[in-house]
């Protein structure tokens, strides 16, 4: 198969396109920096001769020793560069400022005096100093001193090193970087062919990672070689694992005479799951939503060092956690793993830990996403063909908005969404205990999980009757008590209760009652893009009337109306495939109408909607539109991403795009509501469409 693929025109077209993309990416004229010692900067891969990270109120930095090395791999050759050092030559009183010798790739570059206080020092690197590899190795050799009560030899404090193209010319790509990227895409192409994809489909699928790696080369070239190597290793691991697991499953099927497994084509299923895992793991070291990840790291440190029962207590210097208990459980487990395996000292602040801890905290979310994909496949496989089930699963696992929120952003919405999807699927299978345990865990993961509690209640009553509802409520109460038990046992149940009451009041501690918190929903449109305070305008001071016209009350009222509309559609239809459509509508309606909503609150609509892709074309269109608007909403409010793209200082220019994005969401909500309220017989249409698909599969 590999030999046939290598002689395929689509394979060579992919390699040629990769060469073009990498070459064009190398012509990007941006600057590249290494933040020495900065929070979550995994600079150990690129430096030598530095001491441990340190911090001051204004800078993160490392002390050099007598000789320090900083490497920029794969920058490319053919143009001169400007090297900028942000460093300080601090010395105790009475000692002279140090002299610093600077070299590049073994060539002497400059000598200068480093004075107290962080300052920029710029130097020009001639193009002839960079050899065929395109690597840039900077050597810093300062005078050193030994401070009192410290055996270290200290040179200068280095905060950041930046290189920028200094003149015209064409940059020749690093052959190592080019080889790693081409190798990654070749492995991906072969793996897709092994899964059963055609050569043309394998080519088109490979275009997305080609563009992504080109993006890394253009904007993060200092990391491109290492990142391309990690992608190559992940894809090789996925390929080897897929082939090995497929072989084992086939042998097990023959050995134990599992005819259903023997007849099933497991290659595409294994391939999709392993590629999704590789894709998620490749995004682990990305910065994500820096503010939220910093909070998660501090919470994890607090729970690991102080115990789970301290979650809702103000233990200095970490604030009480404002998430339901299941997230603290997961953060505590991840922190304990990190402490016991990688860093027993686990010092504060935890943001100073390596990127490993930062990445470790994303693993529960990634596991939840993979698990959700499996649930989608199993649900659809029992109701449609394997082909449609695989497509639905892949549509979720490789959804760019899902990857952006979870593997990149590190948000935890995938966890409550996993339990909500599982609850809906289990109640459709008439498994009351599992469904109500799952919906309880969804609510205990994030408050948004409560959006789906009335839906589970309705489905249980409609399909099974009143007694199963009472049974389900009893099961949910038992699950809640089990989750609360560590807090009750350690005497901190009152702090947990205080948090729960604040959620019940829709009260975000320390934050004004805004109508929208960067969510492109109905309130963004009505507020003309402004995050206006949740008041009732000129009527807000009027008794009773002012309360009724407050945005919070209006939003709750509209949400109840739309929720009732969705439940009524389920009441009129017995088609199980309408249930995920209504569940997605419920999640989207809550996002669109409620106040104090973040962009990520729309997360849960996508897994449910992906379960409806096989029923009708309209849901595929809505899925595509909402994927774009959800991704756009998150990206346009990600300060780190905007800063990386050079748009943060011009953020006001993005306001029309934000408003248009919100208008599209409102249009989708109105259209969706009209479809459900028009008495559209989705059950018959859904079934007929699926049978047509199965007949042509």
CA distance 598 to 554: 18
CA distance 662 to 527: 11
User: For residue 1, how many other CB atoms are within 10 A of its CB?
Assistant: 8
Cβ(427)–Cβ(460) below 8 Å: yes
Name the 3-class secondary structure at 286. Answer: coil
391, HSE (Cβ side, Cα atoms, 13 Å): 15
Strands 516-517 and 597-598, sheet pairing: parallel
Determine the pLDDT at residue 377.
Answer: 95
Name the more confident of 521 and 262.
521
Q: What sign has the CA pseudo-torsion 395, 399, 405, 410?
A: positive
Determine the pLDDT at residue 370.
Answer: 97
pTM of the model: 0.88
Distances in whole angstroms, Cα of residue 476 to Cα of each of 108, 222, 335, 353, 480 = 70, 51, 28, 38, 6
Q: Pick from 582, 534, 581, 591: which is nearest to 559 by CA?
A: 591
Q: Pick from 139, 545, 487: which is nearest to 309 by CA?
A: 487
Q: What sign has the CA pseudo-torsion 69, 74, 77, 80?
A: negative
CA distance 391 to 386: 9
List, for residues 240-280, the tens digit of each pLDDT value: 999 999 889 888 888 877 776 666 778 999 999 999 999 99
User: In this structure, what are the phi and psi dihedrals at residue 60, rounded to the nearest 5 degrees?
Assistant: -105, 145
User: Torsion angle of alpha carbons 456, 462, 463, 469, nearest 10°?
Assistant: 60
Q: Give the chain's end-to-end CA distance (angstroms, integer).
A: 24
List, for residues 605-629, the tens digit of each pLDDT value: 999 999 999 888 899 999 999 999 9
CA distance 557 to 589: 11
Angle at 690 (CA atoms; ends 687, 695), nearest 5 degrees: 125
Name the more confident of 470 and 510.
470
List, for residues 546-600, the tens digit of each pLDDT value: 444 577 788 889 999 999 999 998 988 888 889 999 999 999 999 999 888 888 9
DSSP 532: -
Question: Residue 512 — very low, low, confident or very high, per pLDDT cuts 50/70/90?
Answer: low
Question: Residue 497 — very low, low, confident or very high, per pLDDT cuts 50/70/90?
Answer: confident
List, for residues 382-401, the tens digit of each pLDDT value: 888 888 999 999 999 999 99
User: In this structure, what are the phi and psi dihedrals at residue 7, rounded to the nearest 5 degrees?
Assistant: -100, 10
Cβ(139)–Cβ(103) below 8 Å: yes
Assigned CATH topology for domain 34-165: Jelly Rolls (2.60.120)
Determine the pLDDT at residue 532.
Answer: 53
Q: Pick from 216, 215, 218: which is nearest to 31 by CA?
A: 218
Determine the pLDDT at residue 288.
Answer: 79
Helix (H) or strand (E) holding 33: strand 32-35
Domain coordinates of the chain in residue numbers? 2-25+174-282, 34-165, 506-697
Cβ(444)–Cβ(483) below 8 Å: yes
List, for residues 55-66, the tens digit of each pLDDT value: 777 778 899 999
When mean pLDDT is compared across 91-100, 276-285, 533-542, the lowest value belongs to 533-542
Name the E strands within 494-632: 516-517, 597-598
User: For residue 332, how many other CB atoms are within 10 A of its CB?
Assistant: 21
402, HSE (Cβ side, Cα atoms, 13 Å): 31
Burial category of 63 from C-beta neighbours within 10 Å (exposed 0-12, middle 13-18, buried 19 and up): buried
Measured in residues, the chain has a length of 697
Name the 3-class secondary structure at 110. Answer: strand
566, HSE (Cβ side, Cα atoms, 13 Å): 28
CA distance 165 to 566: 57
List, for residues 23-79, the tens digit of each pLDDT value: 999 998 888 888 887 765 567 788 999 988 887 777 788 999 999 999 999 999 999
Q: What is the mean pLDDT of the chain?
A: 86
- CA gyration radius for the chain? 28
Burial category of 52 from C-beta neighbours within 10 Å (exposed 0-12, middle 13-18, buried 19 and up): exposed
CA distance 405 to 272: 20
Angle at 303 (CA atoms; ends 45, 289), nearest 5 degrees: 50
Identify how many contiguous H helices and E strands the chain contains and give both numbers. Answer: 27, 11
> Helix, strand, coil proportions of the chain in percent (round to 5)?
60, 10, 25
Residue 530: partners with Cβ closer than 8 Å, 6 or more residues away = none
Cβ(114)–Cβ(100) below 8 Å: yes
Task: Tell me the average pLDDT across 362-370.
Answer: 96
Name the 3-class secondary structure at 42. Answer: coil
Task: Tell me the average pLDDT across 317-325.
Answer: 88
**696 pLDDT above the threshold of 50:** no
């Amino acid at each position: 198969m590999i030999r046939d693929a290598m002689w395929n025109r689509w394979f060579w077209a992919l390699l040629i396109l990769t060469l073009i993309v990498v070459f064009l990416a190398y012509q990007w004229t941006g600057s590249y920096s290494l933040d020495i010692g900065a929070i979550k900067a995994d600079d150990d891969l690129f430096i030598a001769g530095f001491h441990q990270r340190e911090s001051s109120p204004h800078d993160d930095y490392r002390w050099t020793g007598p000789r320090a090395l900083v490497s920029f791999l794969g920058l490319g050759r053919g143009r001169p560069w400007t090297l900028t050092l942000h460093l300080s030559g601090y010395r105790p009183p009475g000692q002279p400022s140090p002299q610093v010798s600077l070299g590049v790739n073994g060539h002497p570059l400059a000598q200068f005096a480093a004075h107290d206080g962080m300052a920029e020092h710029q130097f020009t690197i001639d193009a002839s100093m960079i050899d065929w590899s395109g690597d840039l190795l900077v050597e810093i050799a300062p005078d050193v001193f030994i401070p009192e009560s410290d055996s270290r030899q200290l040179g200068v404090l280095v905060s950041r090193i930046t290189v920028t193209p200094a003149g015209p010319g064409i940059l020749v790509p690093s052959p190592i970087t080019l080889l790693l990227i081409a190798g990654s895409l070749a492995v991906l192409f072969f793996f897709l062919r092994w899964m059963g994809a055609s050569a043309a489909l394998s080519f088109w699928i490979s275009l997305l990672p080609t563009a992504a790696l080109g993006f890394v080369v253009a904007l993060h070239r200092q990391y491109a070689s290492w990142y391309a190597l990690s992608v190559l290793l992940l894809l090789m691991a996925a390929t080897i694992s897929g082939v090995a697991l497929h072989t084992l499953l086939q042998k097990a099927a023959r050995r134990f005479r599992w005819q259903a497994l023997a007849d099933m084509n497991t290659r595409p299923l294994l391939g999709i799951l392993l590629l999704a895992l590789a894709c998620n793991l490749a995004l682990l070291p990305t910065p994500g939503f820096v503010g939220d990840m910093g909070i998660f790291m501090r919470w994890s440190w607090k729970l690991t060092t102080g115990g789970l029962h301290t979650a809702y207590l103000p233990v200095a210097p970490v604030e009480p956690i404002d998430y339901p208990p299941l997230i603290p459980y997961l953060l505590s487990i991840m922190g304990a793993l990190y402490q016991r395996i990688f860093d027993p000292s686990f010092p504060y602040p935890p943001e100073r830990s390596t990127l490993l801890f930062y990445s470790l905290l994303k693993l529960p979310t990634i596991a939840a996403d993979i698990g959700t994909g499996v649930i989608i496949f199993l649900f659809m496989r029992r109701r449609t063909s394997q082909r449609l089930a695989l497509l639905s699963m892949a549509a979720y696992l490789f959804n760019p908005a899902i990857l952006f929120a979870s593997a990149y952003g590190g948000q935890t919405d995938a966890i409550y969404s996993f339990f909500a999807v599982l609850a809906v699927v289990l109640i459709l299978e008439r498994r009351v205990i599992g469904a109500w345990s799952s919906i309880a865990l969804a609510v205990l993961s994030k408050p948004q999980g409560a959006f789906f509690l009335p839906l589970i209640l309705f489905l249980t009553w409609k399909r099974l009757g009143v007694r199963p509802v009472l049974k389900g409520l009893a099961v949910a109460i038992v699950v809640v008590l089990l989750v609360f038990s560590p807090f009750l046992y350690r005497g901190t149940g009152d702090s947990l209760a205080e948090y729960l009451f604040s959620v019940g009041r829709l009260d975000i501690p320390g934050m004004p009652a805004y109508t929208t918190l960067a969510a492109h929903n109905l309130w963004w449109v009505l507020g003309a893009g402004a995050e206006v305070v949740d008041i009732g305008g000129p009527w807000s001071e009027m008794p009773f009337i002012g309360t009724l016209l407050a945005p919070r009350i209006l939003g709750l009222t509209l949400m109840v109306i739309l929720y009732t509309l969705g439940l009524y559609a389920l009441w009129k239809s017995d088609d199980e495939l309408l249930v995920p459509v209504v569940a997605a509508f419920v999640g989207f309606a809550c996002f669109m109408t409620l106040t104090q909503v973040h962009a990520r609150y729309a997360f849960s609509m996508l897994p449910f909607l992906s379960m409806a892709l096989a029923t009708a074309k309209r849901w595929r269109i809505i899925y595509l539109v909402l994927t774009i608007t959800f991704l756009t909403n998150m990206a346009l409010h990600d300060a780190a991403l905007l800063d990386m793209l050079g748009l943060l200082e011009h953020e006001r220019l993005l306001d029309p795009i934000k408003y248009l994005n919100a208008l599209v969401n409102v249009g989708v909500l109105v259209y969706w509501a009209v479809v459900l309220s028009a008495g559209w017989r989705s059950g018959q249409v859904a079934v007929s469409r699926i049978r047509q698909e199965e007949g042509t599969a």
